[in-house]
Amino acid sequence: MLIHFLQLLILFNLDYLEFRFFYKERNLLIDIFIQELAAIEFEAFEEEKEFLKAFVAKNNFSETKFQLLTLKYKHLYNSYKEISHPFQNWNKKWESNFEIININQFCSVRASFHLPTNKKYDIIINPKMSFGTGHHETTRLMAKELFNYELSNKSILDFGSGTAILSIISEKLGAINIDAIEIDEQVNKNALENIKINKASQINVITGTGKDIPNKKYDFILVNINRNTIIKEFNYFLNSIRSDSVLILSGFLYSDVNYISKFLKKHNLKIINSKMENNWALLIVKFF
Ligand SMILES: C[S@@+](CC[C@H](N)C(=O)[O-])C[C@H]1O[C@@H](n2cnc3c(N)ncnc32)[C@H](O)[C@@H]1O
């Protein structure tokens, strides 16, 4: 998925190159440009008011492919500049930059070094190497969405659970029997710490992928992962839903919604609502 630069640096201890493209104007072609950059190994993107930042690991950078692409899209920007980011202790920087996030009027997310907030749901996440703090649009979209349902006694599958933020919020909203599945064992160690610090007790953390989802049906399935992983793992999600289950998907750009919508239709599923924040999408999906 297209993740934020600091989160990327925490995941991979590498030297990175940043390219800053100064827009002529922000239009939808920029999303296509981003996708093409992603196809030549760019891993993170951040948009500012007047420019796009695109990041690539120095090891993976191909000057030839980059030149071809910048030529193809040169009508989109006035100029670009290259900035080098040698490896440093980004985790420290990320942690020291971690600002409290307000999900909504009832819920905030903070690290344990912050003072408690006065929100009813004062969630503590110490992310270490993991994704899921509420700083990314997709996590915020997912977390906010949870407040639109009556979750009391509902079962949850949190697929690609990262810090376990969505599982923790779900439990605070009354959910029980929460399975949090995450491919990365280190990330799960962090999830367990977050679960403990938030005094959650309904969350079963599983290291694995789609094939490791317990063989049962859930009331809600939460998936915040990139488009291709959603599609790759989709048959496993299908096994886990009943006719009245709600599937909440995010982790992709709004420009991907059409593609995903066609894919869902083939499985007799339809999008009943959608949300967007800064070009990132969230879809609420049910059976026809
Ligand atoms: C974008 S993060 C979402 C984290 C958190 N759920 C949130 O909403 O912020 C996606 C997570 O899925 C994990 N992941 C990627 N592919 C996976 C797979 N096939 N099966 C399980 N987890 C996967 C990644 O390691 C990452 O922690």
Task: Parse the chain into domains and list their residue ranges.
Answer: 5-91, 132-287
Q: What's the average model confidence in pLDDT over 111-120?
A: 94
Alpha helices for the chain (secondary structure H)? 5-11, 29-39, 63-72, 90-97, 137-146, 165-172, 185-197, 227-239, 257-266
| Pocket of ligand 1 contains residue 165 by CB under 6 Å | yes
Mutation probe of ligand 1 site: the residue of 131, 137, 206, 248 with most atoms within 8 A of C-beta:
131
| Pocket of ligand 1 contains residue 127 by CB under 6 Å | no
Tell me whether the CATH fold assigned to 5-91 matches the one assigned to 132-287: no
Cα–Cα distance, 164 to 197 (Å, whole number): 12
- Residue pair 83/18 in contact (Cβ under 8 Å)? The answer is yes
| Pocket of ligand 1 contains residue 129 by CB under 6 Å | no
Q: Round the average pLDDT of the chain to a whole number and report it.
A: 90
Task: Tell which CATH classification among 3.40.605.10, 3.40.50.1950, 1.10.10.1100, 3.30.2130.10 matches the domain 5-91.
Answer: 3.30.2130.10
pLDDT range class, residue 279, cuts 50, 70, 90: confident
Q: What's the average model confidence in pLDDT over 107-135?
A: 91
Q: How does pLDDT run across 138-189, given as a tens digit for each residue? A: 999 999 999 999 999 999 999 999 999 999 999 999 999 999 999 999 999 9
Residue nearest to atom 20 of ligand 1 (CA): 209
Q: How does pLDDT run across 68-101, given as a tens digit for each residue? A: 999 999 999 999 999 988 776 555 666 667 889 9
Report whether pLDDT(2) > 50: no
Q: Does domain 132-287 have CATH number 3.40.47.10?
A: no
